[in-house]
Amino acid sequence: MAIGSIKPKHWKGMSLKMSVPSQAESRRPRPLAMQIKWHPPEQPWIKINTDGAVSTTGKAGGGGVIRDHDGKLFAAFATPLGTQSALEAELLAISHGLGLAKELNRPMWIESDSEQTIKLFNGTGWGPAYIRRVMARLVIFKQQHNIRASFIHRKGNKAADWLAKWSLDQTNFGNMSEQTP
């Protein structure tokens, strides 16, 4: 880069986004390069990164990582799920993550790489009928705890993504602590 040539390795961890102006312009939208990575929460929050996965064979699983403001791992999990819907797998992974994190007795911040799931979690609707049971649990949990939820790009959610895919081959809930990741 010092001599002016940009190589693919310089773009590692970057993703292209489009900048669309709010007003009409004569030029086309310009692509923006932005770095995608996980950011720790502010103190005293803990961040719960979750992901759900469904295979082509119909197996489903979920995984997640719970960390603090220093990035310290509190817990991680990978679990097979009894669903065939990606949306339900994402919501069940959030439910499992919240269940583990509530023991820490701190405000919880959910991050998921599913925009639809985050919109549903943050909204007032219940979604399709097949997910209403898990949505009811999440609504009650939100009423009883200090929780926020936000979207994170898949590249910033690699640990949860890996755990969710790994859970597809598991038969039991796997809970890992900072000593056993």
| Number of helical H runs and strand E runs in the chain | 4, 8
Could you give the count of Cα atoms lying within 13 Å of 6 in the half-sphere of its Cβ? 3
The per-residue pLDDT for 33 is 65
Question: Order of strands, edge to edge, in the sheet holding 60-67?
Answer: 147-151, 108-112, 46-54, 60-67, 73-81, 174-177
- Which one, of 176, 175, 118, lies nearest residue 147 by Cα? 118
pTM to 2 decimal places? 0.78
Q: In this predicted structure, what is the pLDDT of residue 14?
A: 66
Confidence (pLDDT) at 97: 95
For residue 40, the model assigns a pLDDT of: 86
- Residue 24's pLDDT is 60
pLDDT along the chain (181 residues), means of 10: 60 64 63 73 94 92 94 92 91 95 94 94 91 94 94 90 92 77 56
Spatial separation of the C-alpha atoms in residues 147 and 145, rounded to whole Å: 6
Class of 46-177 per CATH? alpha beta
Given this model, what pLDDT does residue 1 score?
A: 44
